[in-house]
Structure 1
Amino acid sequence: MPRGRYSLHDLHDHTPLGEEHFHCAPGPSGWRYVSQTTSPSGDHLGSVDLALDELGRPIRLELHAASWQVRGAALEGVTWVRTDPTGSHATEGNVRAHAFAGTSPAFLIAMTRLLRLTPASPTTRVRVVTFTDPVLAPRSVDQSWALMNSEAHPTDNGPLIVDEYQVSALDTGEQHTVHIAGDVVLAAPGIELEHLETPPSPRAYGPDLDEPDTDGPDAD
């Protein structure tokens, strides 16, 4: 069971935003990630609880940040309920999308488990619903993902496979690189792995991505 700590930074000026203390583990029916986020001063900021099924689909998502809460799951695309700080005005949402996204490294790992890309795979287009901090406002985003390289690194516990992904935002054309080993993000924009107590779990790929609609993932 990987357990460790990420540091989070602003994407533009690299200002420290805090830390995410996490643990995650594969299971007989999928994969789960649980974390707590803290500010640079150590104050509690929020939490993430994400569970995937064996196909990499989000069967349960629970986010907390700044007294806001989101609960969601894959249902006719993705469906969620967002609750305001007073708890009196809950709003529901549904988008014909493939997955959720956000600032947590959990969402990057979840996407790789959903797509199961190989270096020979074509670039794949996906639609995600991303929840932006600090109020967890939902926004639909189209992305493309490509696995550029997989490299084995020797360790005391055997070879560690590090995958290099190129992720592009299709609305802006902005591209960035993500390095992932199994179910741990080694480096990504705004994310750095600071401490890891146990090795990553081996990567696990499910069947081909099911398209939720006719405008689902496609090869560029």
Structure 2
Amino acid sequence: MPRGTYIHEPGVEERFACDLDGGGWRYTAERSDGGSIELVADSRWRPARLQVTVGEHVLRGGAVGAELMWVTAGREHAARATGFLGESPGLLVAVARSLRLAEGERVDLRILLVTAPSLAVRTVPQRWSLAEIAWHDADGERVPVERYEITDLETGEVSEFHLAGDVVVAAPGIELVNLENPPNFS
């Protein structure tokens, strides 16, 4: 089971664990600012259950058919979207794996962007592409590292992140500083 620590700018630690879980995947993390996340993805990497906590704010959500539903401040919401994104790298993993892109492929989709500290949610159109798969030596093994590009279709802003199995190894504002076990590549 991969366990490790991410550092978010400006210096917030996210201590995480993730693993395959009964046909799906589970990601849990505690943050040094008191926040937490628990994500359970189904076999298609869709969010079966999500709980994000920041201070007194709590967001709970998950997939119901083609829609994602979420509850914040006692109010229920729903939208057609591929997944949730926010500060946690675990959310990037789930969306990337749900897309099942081949190298060079891209897709336009709608994402529910969760913003701290109030856990407000807005729908954002994005283009995701699996730009490249590079192979790196790690502990005597060849490991594939995927480079994804994400384009915000409203602003044209492009960002990228690097993914090895079920662990984000680099992303804007996020640094992987410790990884106790190798990523899952299933």
Amino acid at match of 2:48: I
Cα displacement string for residues 43-67 of structure 1 (whole angstroms, at most 9, x for unaligned residues): xx21000010111111000110011
| Aligned equivalent of 1:99 | 83
| Aligned equivalent of 2:141 | 158
**Selected match of 2:12 from 7, 15, 18:** 18
Ranges in structure 1 where 5+ consecutive residues have no aligned partner: 10-15, 40-44, 84-89, 205-220
Task: After TM superposition, give the deviation of residue 192 of structure 1 in Å.
Answer: 0.6
Contact map agreement 2:111 2:123 (CA 8 A) in 1: yes
| Aligned equivalent of 2:69 | 79
The 5 Å alignment of 1:75-154 reads 75-76=64-65, 77-83=67-73, 90-121=74-105, 123-154=106-137
Report the RMSD for the aligned CA atoms in angstroms. 1.2
| Distance in 1 of aligned mates of 2:151 and 2:11 | 23
Q: TM-score scaled by structure 2? A: 0.95
Task: After TM superposition, give the deviation of residue 38 of structure 1 in Å.
Answer: 1.0
Secondary structure of 1:114 counterpart:
helix
| Aligned equivalent of 2:28 | 34
Aligned pair in 2 of structure 1 residues 157, 26: CA closer, same or farther (>3 Å)? farther
| Distance in 1 of aligned mates of 2:44 and 2:75 | 28
| Aligned equivalent of 1:196 | 179
Q: How many residues end up aligned between the 2 structures?
A: 185
Contact map agreement 2:82 2:95 (CA 8 A) in 1: no
74-83 or 161-170, larger mean C-alpha shift: 74-83
| Distance in 1 of aligned mates of 2:160 and 2:71 | 31
Percent of matched pairs sharing the same residue = 41
Runs of 4+ in structure 1 over 4 Å off: none
Instruction: Please identify which structure carries the higher strand content.
Output: 2
Higher CA-based Rg: 1
